[in-house]
Copies of this chain bind each other. A is one copy, B any other.
Amino acid sequence: MSAPVRFQVRASEPGGLARCGRLETPHGAFETPAFLAVGTQATVKTLDPRDLREAGCRIILANAYHLALRPGAERISRLGGLHRFMGWEGPILTDSGGYQLFSLAPLARATDEGVDFQSHLDGARQTLTPERAVEIQEALGPDIAMVLDEPLGFPHTREEAEAALARTTAWARRSRSAQRRSDQALFGIVQGGAFEDLRRRSAEELVPLDFPGYAVGGLCLGENKRETDALLAAAADVLPEEKPRYVMGMGTPADLIRSVRLGADMFDCVMPTRHARRGNLFTWGGRLSIKRNEFAEDPSPIDPACGCPACRGGFSRAYLRHLFQAEETLGQRLMTLHNVFFYQELAGRMRERIRAGGFASWAAETLAGPLGQDPEGPPRGQGLRRGPAGKLLRPTPPGED
């Protein structure tokens, strides 16, 4: 069967690892480094497909776990698949739901067979196997699907990390065999927890399965930035150069820059969308909270240099602050447009710098500036811990993205 996606590295940083590429999918091509806006429930919260295009999105992410529970993967299939369902004609990647299972579902438990869990919506007992995860995603019909993996809470022991790694590899193998559709790419996921050698081992075990792309999962869960970099570097070093590398659930603008420097190509994160709904806005001069009193009569847009629909549209900080205070959802949408645009622009600038040369010095300068001082907030996995029954717990409300 012909490859469902085709990846080409088109420019590389001289003497470095950063690269700029192009990934072709059945629903069009996009350039890397690429940031995927998160549309968990078949909508990037507050935005419609035209908004997404105007914010510069070329590929988006949806979540197979959420969609399988509601409205149901087979239902979406009968309605013509995910692209048609949500009216988005560009590429889509779905996450298998491994992370969501362990963070949202009550009593999730991994066995060698799969994950037993209760639906976070109605408490119904279900089992998700690697085969079923593939089947669900083949029904949904994204361009790129992800294998089911077993993520780890933080902190964890080496023994726990080894066990999850072994299971993740075994599941990856079963997932590969379960594939039926030839028009959908399936990416493997590197685990290995907080141990560099296990990250290498995980990647080494996956490479022979010849996935068309590889993700690195379980980063930014509580380890510090230096550790994150070391874990990503260990995995990237083993992964084949000619395949795209996708860092899942990452991160701040600084996280993205540091990871691109280590050879990463794709990212997804709730950060731009979730922050926007809380009134936290990204700019090249650093973050800005729309709640602040100083903006009450500020007639300027969020960022006068920004070309996003909210800034170009003439919506002032004062108006956005008013909408936020008045709990009007238009404010959430305008601020989401801005933040998503910012992340797309960040990815675009990295692509330019890699193509034109000078990425290393741009990255160093940028990390020394406001984006490098960017407050991190609590790590993504704060509160994610292994419960008494081997369950991973996380207090994020269901459906948050």
Contacts and interface: CB of A to CB of B under 8 A. Distances in A.
Contacts of A78: 297
B322 A45 contact: no
A46 interface: yes
A332 B329 contact: yes
B322 A71 contact: yes
Contacts of A318: 71, 75, 79, 85
A333 interface: yes
Given A70-B325, A325-B70, A319 B48 contact: no
Interface string A295-333: 011010000000000000111101101110111111011
Contact of A329 (B46, B84, B86, B313): B46
A330 B47 contact: yes
Task: Quickly give the copy total for this chain.
Answer: 2
A379 interface: no
A28 interface: no
A42 B321 CA distance: 12
A184 interface: no
A323 B87 contact: no
Interface in A27-49: 41-43, 45-49
A43 B328 contact: yes
B314 A87 contact: yes
A85 B317 CA distance: 10
Contacts of A80: 299
Contact of A48 (B43, B45, B330): B330
A45 B323 CA distance: 10
A357 interface: no
Contacts of A190: none
B75 A296 contact: yes
B87 A319 contact: yes
A166 to B, nearest CB: 36
A369 interface: no
A334 interface: yes
Contacts of A70: 322, 325-326
Nearest to A327: B399
A79 B49 CA distance: 32
B75 A323 contact: no
A64 to B, nearest CB: 15
Contacts of A326: 41, 70, 399
B328 A45 contact: yes
Contact of A41 (B42, B50, B328): B328
Given A45-B328, A47-B330, A75-B297, 12 more contacts: A41-B322, A41-B328, A43-B323, A46-B329, A48-B334, A71-B296, A79-B297, A79-B299, A85-B318, A87-B313, A87-B315, A327-B399
